[in-house]
């Protein structure tokens, strides 16, 4: 190998090392560039946060819910943003799957949401029946029974 080709090869290898140390797609395209994922839940909003590591600069984010029972692509996010927000409708277990945009190993993060309040229906006020209403009802029933009694007694004669 000539001296010129050897220096080009060394330059090429050092360039790949430089790219891989900054999470370039050439060398580290198969690893996810995030770690230490954590979340916070506020009402129906889930905020996912992470630390940036060397790896892919963009990841596809998939979401699994108990209702769908499969992973669905939500979006492609840049890892350097360090957070993203999800809006959930129901309580339950959710799994977020991060896959590098170029393909490769994935990271799954599971969290449980238990503070989402279901939409409450209005409670219709039941009409009140006090003692006056009850007495009038019993009195009306007694008058009806007395009338039937008198009618049967007259018809037997």
Q: How far apart are CA 66 and CA 59, in angstroms?
A: 23
What integer pLDDT is reported at residue 121 of this predicted model?
65
Give me the mean pLDDT over the 81-110 stretch.
Answer: 86
Measure the N-to-C terminal CA separation of the chain; round to a whole number of Å: 137
Number of domains in the chain: 1
CA atoms within 13 A on the CB side of 141: 6
For 8-67, the pLDDT digits (tens) are: 334 334 333 333 333 333 334 457 778 888 898 888 888 898 888 877 788 888 999 888
The residue segments making up the domain with residue 103 are: 29-113
The mean predicted confidence, pLDDT, of the chain is 75
Of 60, 52, 42, nearest in space to 82 by CA? 52
Residues whose CB falls within 8 Å of the CB of residue 36, separated by 6 or more in sequence, listed in order: 50, 51
The pLDDT score that the predictor gives to residue 27 is: 39
Q: How confident is the model at residue 28, as a pLDDT?
A: 43
CATH number of the domain to which 86 belongs: 2.60.40.10
- Does any domain span residue 63? yes
pTM given for the model: 0.53
């Amino acid at each position: 190998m000539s001296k010129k080709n050897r220096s080009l090869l060394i330059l090429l290898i050092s360039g790949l090392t430089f790219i891989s140390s900054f999470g370039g797609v050439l060398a580290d395209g198969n690893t996810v560039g995030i770690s230490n994922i954590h979340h916070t839940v506020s009402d129906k909003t889930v905020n996912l946060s992470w630390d940036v590591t060397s790896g892919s600069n963009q990841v596809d984010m998939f979401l699994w819910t108990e209702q769908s029972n499969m992973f669905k692509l939500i979006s492609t996010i840049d890892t350097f943003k360090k957070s993203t927000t999800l809006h959930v409708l129901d309580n339950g277990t959710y799994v977020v799957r991060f896959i590098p945009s170029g393909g490769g190993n994935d990271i799954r993060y599971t969290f449980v949401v238990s503070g989402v309040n279901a939409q409450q229906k209005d409670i219709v006020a039941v009409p009140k029946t006090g003692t006056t209403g009850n007495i009038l009802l019993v009195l009306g029933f007694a008058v009806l029974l007395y009338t039937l009694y008198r009618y049967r007694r007259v018809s037997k004669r």
